[in-house]
């Protein structure tokens, strides 16, 4: 019985120490490189009316896409 209690205490100790080794989690993208508004440079993958390299144009296109095409509440007929 005592062996079981020692084993349980050891398991609790190891588990609590394992939690101390977790790496910090940081919000944001893990992909490093060019900003998204610079585009891919490939014509078929760009939205009409969007100017590559223009951050304001990129934000406007994303806002429009979110409000019209990807908003399931609007697409389902909700008002």
Q: Tell me the pTM.
A: 0.42
Percent of the chain scoring above 70 in pLDDT: 76
The model's pLDDT over 1-46, given as tens digits with 9 standing for 90+, comes to 889 888 888 888 877 777 677 777 777 656 677 777 787 777 777 7
Closest of 33, 64, 34 to residue 48, by C-alpha: 64
Region class of 77: left (phi > 0), else alpha (psi between -120 and 50), else beta: left
Q: How confident is the model at residue 61 (pLDDT cuts 50, 70, 90)?
A: confident
């Amino acid at each position: 019985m005592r062996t079981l209690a020692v084993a349980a205490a050891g398991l609790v100790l190891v588990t609590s120490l394992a939690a101390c080794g977790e790496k910090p989690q940081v919000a944001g993208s893990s992909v490093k490189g060019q900003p998204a508004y610079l585009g891919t440079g490939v014509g078929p993958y760009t939205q009409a009316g969007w100017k590559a390299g223009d951050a304001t144009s990129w934000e406007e296109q994303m806002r429009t896409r979110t409000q019209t095409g990807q908003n399931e509440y609007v697409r389902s007929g909700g008002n």
